[in-house]
Structure 1
Amino acid sequence: MARGAPRLRRRPSVLALCLAVAACLCGGRNAAAAERKTVGVHELRRGDDFSIKVTNWGATLMSVILPDSKGNLADVVLGYDTVAEYVNGTAYFGGLIGRVANRIAGARFTLDGKTYRLYRNDGNNSLHGGHRGFSKVVRTVKEHVGGGDSPTSLSTTIASTGSKAVDECWRFPGDLDVYMTYQLSPPHVLSVRMNATARGRATPVNLAHHAYWNLGGHGSGPVLAEAVQLLASRYTPVGAALIPTGDLAPVAGTPYDFRAPGRAPAPRATTPTTPWTAASSSALRPGARVRDGATGRAMELWADQPGVQFYTGNGLGGVRGKGGSVYGRCLETQGFPDAVNHPGFPSQVVRPGQVYRHDMVFRFSF
């Protein structure tokens, strides 16, 4: 943390709020209508040319404003114009994904001798935590330091405590305390920190931040001309239902080889995986680089997770976002998909008292 940065404090849990939300979710009532009353939008700003907006609905990143090489400002994150559209949307734009991101095969897994059957929301599989995962829950803003020109970091911490009350609807085991922090640092650095503490029972945890990016500006059209580099020598082959086979295959000679900067392919799902191991996952390492030639904007993504998924929006189905724009590209760092069903993948199980940590750093230049 930069010298003089605000110190982030963990405060007592507000279990009554979480239980009230869970009652709406499990009871089949209109949770969106009840929760919308407590939703807000929070801005972080550094100077006149770097700012973000975040809503506590799903800890969602709504915008990132950046200059280009000529000083022209644009919003480079895909999303919606209003919070209500995030509440009702299905594209996971900018949200916190969990308790387990990506797919769990057959919506089931076995942990410590017990089999858990999850909510199926992707054919026979569970996707992104179930029907209403972490991206569809109101979060509590624990601390917000919004702006200024000083060299200190600016941050917003969003928390959800006692998530078992929500997750028991979708049959994940145990209680989980979850915190997510957005932070701006000079000159143009966005940090996203996620952590979760297991309470009482072991549970799989694989949080992901689901921001979609267009460095030309969210409404500038296709991203296929942007240069993409993924520092991944292996990938996880998948079957017809997009479930990993359990293999780690070399990217050499395949369409998944992005080790040298090149243009993105036509939209499709790709799952390149870095060669990082669980033992080295505590250190931040570069995972992806993207550059838009027209504007000169570039982004370098660093993270401490063993995998990065590059998604070119093939499943968005013409979703319209801000100003009616039609979108797609997503870079997500995460654990390996369906790791809970693949003993050969780095484990995502968090034991009681353990803390899961997932840090991402986006470094922008022009």
Structure 2
Amino acid sequence: MARAPPLHRLSALLALCLAVAVCFSGVENAAAAAGSRKMVGVHELRMGDFSIKVTNWGATLMSVILPDSKGNLGDVVLGYDTVAEYVNGSAYFGGLIGRVANRIAGARFVLDGKAYRLYRNDGNNSLHGGHRGFSKVIWTVKEHVGGGDSPYITLYYHSFDGEQGFPGALDVYVTYQLSSPYGLSVRMNATAQSKATPVNLAHHAYWNLGGHGSGPVLGETVQLFASRYTPVADVATLIPTGALAPVAGTPYDFRAPAPLGARLADLLRRGGGVIAGYDTNYAVDVDDGAALTALRPVARVWDGATGRAMELWADQPGVQFYTSNGLGGVRGKGGSVYGRYGALCLETQGFPDAVNHPSFPSQIVRPGQVYKHDMVFKFSFA
């Protein structure tokens, strides 16, 4: 007779299965509510020694593998080994954020004379779309070409009227695509179906060009193409005041390439123990005469130890620069433990709390209008 597995192992397995089942059964997904079943999987795109993996849970980017200057392959985004860990995780690793990324003060806004109240999941505020934003739902894989000259995957999500408190139904698409040499594009679009609604999608990858488990990114060099940022009234809530302030003469100035560790130390020193790191929205510079919707340079990052470099272009007015201040003891891929400053995020976006600041670029999309957001990452190594 075969021996039964130890009771503690059965308990752990049952707990994991139950946690995943509860999360999946609770997904606010119109198709699921209608009785259709959706499968969650992992999908790869590959061009030679350059590859990524994407899951349709949260349209999440799970890995980006590319060589360093010596030809050694490494994964340069933080994350988990399994989809179940993404379901139960809280760090937004690689997720597609929406309906409105970043914060909305008081979890409320007024649109066309009507007041809307949202799900509060960040104190009194709404963060990244609410308790179950777009990074916590099942997307539909519409197309997937895993190899060839231009591998890509397109995912779709229908956000229903009233989801997390937001007005109107919204059809959302995101496409990940590889290009040669070592290019990754993330193209997002959304169409309002029935009512005017705010839309501000963002991609929340955690980047570490030294490798996802290589420790703090303080040795990396950062350049941001931004002369202004949106100051906040309280670093505890990170709600903008509505003003734009120059970065010149402050620790927020990355217009010229700067070592992240030294600049961060200056920020912490001036912050008097209140500021934990960068979690700041920058207003991306626009050349005179250039269209606001045109792709433009946003950031460059270099890692001296591996020779890897990343350049980001996008078409959004802002970029949230985040140094993973909230990470601490998170167990990720291959058993790696991710700590504070273990990655940096460059989330191109509309300005935070724009629905409550008329002076900020509008995020309102009306029925029939299409919201677009394109990002292009260009990797190199020398």
TM over 0.5: yes
Does the CA-based 8 Å contact 2:281-2:352 persist in structure 1?
Answer: no
The SS at the match of 2:171 is strand
2:380 maps to 365
Contact 2:324 2:343 (C-alpha < 8 Å) held by counterparts = yes
Residue in 1 that maps onto 2:160: 164
Quick one: distance in 2 between partners of 1:286 and 1:268?
20
What per-residue deviation string (whole Å, max 9, x for no partner) do you get for residues 286-339 of structure 1? 100000001110000000000111100112233221122313311100001110
Partner residue in 2 for 1:68: 68
Distance 1:330 1:321 in 2: 17
Shift of the 21–255 alpha-carbon distance from structure 1 to 2, 3 Å rule, reads farther
Q: Alpha-carbon deviations, 1:14-33, whole Å to 9, x = none?
A: xxx94243589xxxxxxxxx
Aligned to 2:128: 128
Residue equivalent to 2:39: 38
| 1:21-80 Cα shifts (integer Å, max 9, x gaps) | 3589xxxxxxxxx98x71000000001x10000000000000000001111100001101
Counterpart mapping for 1:108-147 below 5 A: 108-147=108-147
Deviation at 1:169, TM superposition (A): 4.1
- d(CA) in 1 for partners of 2:329, 2:280: 19
- Contact 1:285 1:302 survives alignment (8 Å): yes
Q: Is the 8 A contact 1:307 1:334 kept in 2?
A: yes
Cα distance in 2 for partners of 1:119, 1:95 equals 19
Report the counterpart of residue 337 of structure 2 in structure 1. Answer: 325
Q: Distance in 2 between matches of 1:279 and 1:173?
A: 33
> Following the alignment from structure 1 to structure 2, what is the Cα–Cα distance between the partners of residues 345 and 279?
18
TM-aligned CA distance change 1:128 to 1:23, over 3 Å: farther
Partner Cα distance (1:360, 1:194) in 2: 9
1:155 maps onto 2:167 in alignment: no
Residue of structure 2 in register with 1:246 after alignment: 242
State the partner residue of 1:88: 88
Secondary structure at the residue paired with 1:233? Answer: strand
Residues 170, 226 of structure 1: alpha-carbon distance in 2 compared, 3 angstrom cutoff:
same
Match of 2:204 in 1: 210
What one-letter code is carried by the residue in structure 1 that aligns with 2:60?
T
Quote the Cα distance in structure 2 between the aligned partners of 1:144 and 1:23.
Answer: 25
Structure 2, unaligned runs of 5 or more: 1-27, 266-276
Question: Which amino acid counterpart does residue 329 of structure 1 have in structure 2?
Answer: L
Compared with structure 1, are the counterparts of its residues 22 and 248 closer, same or farther at alpha carbon in structure 2 (3 Å cutoff)?
Answer: farther
Q: Within 2, Cα distance between the matches of 1:344 and 1:19?
A: 35
SS in 1 for 2:330: coil
In terms of mean alpha carbon deviation, does 226-235 or 317-326 score higher? 317-326
State the SS of the aligned residue for 2:57. Answer: coil
Superposed CA deviations along residues 95-148 of structure 1, whole A, max 9, x for unmatched, are: 000000000000000000000000100000000000000000000000000013
Contact 1:179 1:195 in 2 (8 A): yes
SS, match of residue 86 in structure 2: helix
Question: Aligned Cα RMSD in Å?
Answer: 1.9
Sort the Cα spacing of 1:119 and 1:23 in 2 relative to 1 into closer, same or farther, 3 A: farther
Q: Note the alpha carbon deviations across 1:165-206, whole angstroms, 9 max, x for none.
A: 5xx241100010000000000010000000000011000000
Query: Whose Rg is larger?
Result: 2
Deviation of residue 154 (structure 1)? 1.1
TM-score computed with the length of structure 2 as normaliser:
0.84
Contact 1:307 1:335 (8 Å CA) reproduced: yes
For residues 309 and 180 of structure 1, the distance between their equivalents in structure 2, rounded to whole angstroms, comes to: 20
> CA contact under 8 A between 1:316 and 1:328: conserved in structure 2?
no
2:234 counterpart of 1:236:
no
What secondary structure is seen at the aligned counterpart in 2 of 1:147? coil
Deviations along 1:216-237, one digit per CA (max 9) or x if unpaired, are 0101111000000000000000
The C-alpha deviation readout for 1:214-267, integer Å capped at 9, x for no partner, is 000101111000000000000000122100000010000111100011112253
Distance 1:113 1:279 in 2: 34
Confirm or deny: 8 A CA contact 1:273 1:309 kept in the other structure: no
Deviation of 1:274 after TM superposition, in Å, equals 1.5
- Structure 1's unaligned 5+ residue stretches are 1-16, 25-33
Would you say the 8 A contact 1:98–1:133 is kept in 2?
A: yes
Distance 2:311 2:33 in 1: 38
Match of 1:7 in 2: none
